[in-house]
Copies of this chain bind each other. A is one copy, B any other.
Amino acid sequence: MAQKNAFYAQSGGVTSVINASACGVIQTAKLYPEHIGTVYAGRNGIIGALREELIDTSKESTADIDALKHTPAGAFGSCRYKLKSIEDNRAEYERLIEVFKAHNIGYFFYNGGGDSADTCLKVAQLSEQLGYPIQAIHIPKTVDNDLPFTDNSPGFGSVAKYVAVSTREAGMDVASMSESSTKVFILEVMGRHAGWIAAAGGLANEKDGQPPHIILFPEIAFDKEKFLAKVKQTVEEHGYCVIVTSEGVQNADGSFLADAGTVDAFGHKQLGGAAPTLANMIRSELNYKYHWALADYLQRSARHIASATDVEQAYAVGKAAVEFAVAGKTAVMPAIIRGKGEAYSWTIGEAPLAEVANVEIMLPREYITEDGFHITEAARRYLSPLIQGEDYPPYKNGLPNYVELKKEMVAKKLSSDFKVKV
């Protein structure tokens, strides 16, 4: 088999461990010099391939590549750029193949969620048709944890840990002040369609009465009366109430709760967040003193409190992607397979991309308690192993010492420019 170069790109919302997958790809590729030459990374994801903006990862020091394991966000840049269908924009796919051909790239490693699994599959299919076969391997990544086939998605475990830890800490804060101050605290977390991240907040509660007392999931239609009654009952019983809400919590008619129906001083509709909407509701109807927090990007970039399990799995899927490629596979994704035993264990399996692309996994109903406000034992058994272990980054000057790569660009070989509308 002739040696070919590899292309690696990060896609969609970044996570605190996506660079660990990149590290797995780059370090493992070095073990197979007879198959893989240089690993090029797309500058800002797939956009970098379309623009022929390739970062030469071989120009980075060994130490810097190793430091990717503890560095959050996308070290090469990521993008929100979904390739259209082949019918709608065949030129884009042809351009990808043209760039790959120009740089003798035979391996395409695409690190993302459901959309990018779909793109990856199409590249595999089309390259075959165009007579320049590319082995296209998808590497799973999404804090949303909504990919099928894999037991969980790298990136999720660390957000889950962040949310569980933050809920515990803020919950203790509220508990200690509630006699004379804040009675209700609301933490809004990510998850527009699926409640996996909100569910993780439930892990902070390890015995009766501990926060969070209420979790709101996108999967359960929001019932204002029931919710307010539960808040009231919780405050009366425990003296305070801690709520974790998904950003995507919805009314029975499918509208987002965060759409408060108000306009700002400039006449724009305000999407104020679910937490402040709930807070105003609680003030208005129950008159409790409240506070709320909205974690936003803090949760998915919090490498300082990453799950060691998640870091390990993120690296493992990157490593496995290369191993799959050198074994001649294409249109597959390394998946995390949970062991059947009582104690948590996992191995890497193989998922055909045709079965992964564009499928979203929701939180199963049996993971949510009957009243719709908390997680069940089944959910705990699923979630708890994913947040195990701490994997602290090194510190310098009191701050995490994250690496910033040199990102040396490969000389362009194509004369033509390709316009990418971002």
Which residues of A pack against B, CB within 8 Å?
A: 10, 13-14, 16, 44-45, 47, 71-81, 161, 164-166, 168-170, 172-177, 179-181, 185, 187, 203-204, 206, 260-266, 268, 270, 272-273, 276-277, 280-281, 283-284, 291-298, 300-305, 307, 384, 387-390, 392, 395, 397-400, 402, 422
Instruction: State A276–B258 Cα separation when bound (angstroms).
Output: 13
Query: Can you list 20 residue pairs at the A/B interface with Cβ under 8 Å?
Result: A14-B173, A44-B179, A73-B173, A75-B176, A81-B180, A166-B302, A168-B402, A169-B297, A169-B302, A170-B297, A185-B297, A268-B284, A270-B280, A293-B295, A293-B296, A295-B295, A295-B298, A384-B397, A388-B398, A390-B392
Q: How far is the CB of A102 from chain B (nearest CB, A)?
A: 22
Q: Which residues of B contact A283 (CB under 8 A)?
A: 268
Is B79 within 8 A of A172, CB to CB?
no
Is B75 within 8 A of A398, CB to CB?
no
Is B179 within 8 A of A422, CB to CB?
yes
Closest 3 CB pairs of A and B: A74-B176, A293-B296, A387-B398
Chain B minimum-CB-distance residue to A182 = B297
Chain B minimum-CB-distance residue to A207 = B404
Is A169 within 8 A of B388, CB to CB?
no
Q: A292 is contacted by which of B45, B74, B164, B294 (Cβ under 8 Å)?
A: B294
Is A400 within 8 A of B168, CB to CB?
yes
Q: How far is the CB of A241 from chain B (nearest CB, A)?
A: 14
Instruction: State A297–B263 Cα separation when bound (angstroms).
Output: 27
With A180-B44, A301-B173 known to touch, is A260 a contact of B265 (CB < 8 Å)? yes
Instruction: State A295–B299 Cα separation when bound (angstroms).
Output: 11
Instruction: State A204–B397 Cα separation when bound (angstroms).
Output: 10
With A298-B170, A400-B165 known to touch, is A13 a contact of B177 (CB < 8 Å)? yes
Q: A166 is contacted by which of B73, B298, B389, B390 (Cβ under 8 Å)?
A: B298
Q: Which residues of B contact A384 (CB under 8 A)?
A: 397-398
Instruction: State A300–B177 Cα separation when bound (angstroms).
Output: 13
Instruction: State A392–B173 Cα separation when bound (angstroms).
Output: 18
Is A390 within 8 A of B399, CB to CB?
no
Q: A73 is contacted by which of B14, B78, B176, B422 (Cβ under 8 Å)?
A: B176
Is B297 within 8 A of A291, CB to CB?
yes
With A173-B72, A276-B273 known to touch, is A179 a contact of B293 (CB < 8 Å)? no
Is A78 within 8 A of B177, CB to CB?
yes
7 A-B pairs besides A73-B173, A390-B392 with CB distance below 8 A are A72-B169, A78-B177, A79-B179, A169-B302, A262-B263, A265-B280, A295-B295
Q: How far is the CB of A44 from chain B (nearest CB, A)?
A: 4
Q: Which residues of B contact A79 (CB under 8 A)?
A: 177, 179-181
Is A388 within 8 A of B397, CB to CB?
yes
Q: Which residues of B contact A78 (CB under 8 A)?
A: 176-177
Q: Which residues of B contact A174 (CB under 8 A)?
A: 297
Chain B minimum-CB-distance residue to A179 = B44
Is A169 within 8 A of B81, CB to CB?
no
Is A165 within 8 A of B304, CB to CB?
yes
Is A399 within 8 A of B203, CB to CB?
yes
Is A262 within 8 A of B270, CB to CB?
yes
Q: A294 is contacted by which of B169, B294, B389, B397 (Cβ under 8 Å)?
A: B294
Q: How far is the CB of A385 from chain B (nearest CB, A)?
A: 8
Instruction: State A170–B301 Cα separation when bound (angstroms).
Output: 6
Q: Which residues of B contact A177 (CB under 8 A)?
A: 13-14, 74, 77-80
